[in-house]
Amino acid sequence: MVKLIKYLVIIAALCVAGVFIWKHFFGKSEVEIIKEQIYSLASEASKKAGESIPSAIIHAKTVENFFTDPCYINVGTQMFSGKYSQIQIGASCMRYRQMFKQIKFTAHDLEVNLTGTGTATAFLTAELRGITRSGRNINAFRELECSFVFHKDKWLISKVNIRRIIEK
């Protein structure tokens, strides 16, 4: 029994060491880096209940740094679509987050393709769950296509389009 536990511990330790070595020496692929960018963006855009104004400003500032300047957003409505500078994105983010008591953005079914040197496209299902200031629960999904460019050692979003899942 003791021998068995010893062997199990040794095997587990070797597995952990192997995973660590693999991650450290072989590093992350560009696709994984872009995926992490998207998950980070979703996390930064989310808002917990009781968030202070300074914290909201920091989140909005962080969100704008995920986008190129300018960035093109086409979400199907005139009101939100257009060409945005980074500052405009930050200001819009601040404004829309203030309409909610809490929001959670989640990216599902994320698929990233490298389309060329320094460019990539990501397809994802974006989910928004939140409670507005008036107490209304919101739960919405959108299929998005995000175009990325590699700029100043970072992958930044240059275009966001709504994607139709089924197109006549």
Partner 1 sequence: MGLFKKLLAAYFRCWRPHVGKSPADAARDFCVPSLNGAFLTRLVTIIIAGFLVFNYLLRPCFIKGGSMEPTYPRLGFDFCWRGQYWFSQPKRGDIVIIRFTRNTLLLKRIVALPGETVEFRQGRLFINGRLLYEPYVKYECDWNLPPRRVKPGHYYAVGDNRSMSISRQKFGQFRKKRIYGGPLW
Which residue ranges make up the site for partner 1 (CB under 8 A)? 1, 4, 108, 111, 125, 127, 141, 143, 164-168
Among candidate residues 120, 116, 153, the one with its CA nearest the CA of residue 34: 120
- Minimum CB distance to partner 1, residue 124 (Å): 11
Which residue, 69 or 143, is less far from partner 1 as judged by CB? 143
- Minimum CB distance to partner 1, residue 107 (Å): 11
Which residue, 36 or 111, is less far from partner 1 as judged by CB? 111
Which residue, 32 or 111, is less far from partner 1 as judged by CB? 111
Which residue, 17 or 138, is less far from partner 1 as judged by CB? 138
State the Cα–Cα distance between residues 69 and 67, nearest whole angstrom: 7
- Minimum CB distance to partner 1, residue 168 (Å): 4
State the Cα–Cα distance between residues 77 and 65, nearest whole angstrom: 24
Give me 108's structure tokens. 């599902």
State the Cα–Cα distance between residues 89 and 80, nearest whole angstrom: 11
Max intra-chain CA distance, the chain: 69
State the Cα–Cα distance between residues 129 and 100, nearest whole angstrom: 10
- Minimum CB distance to partner 1, residue 96 (Å): 21
- Is the backbone of residue 82 left (phi > 0), alpha (psi -120 to 50) or beta? left
- Minimum CB distance to partner 1, residue 10 (Å): 16
Which residue, 53 or 166, is less far from partner 1 as judged by CB? 166
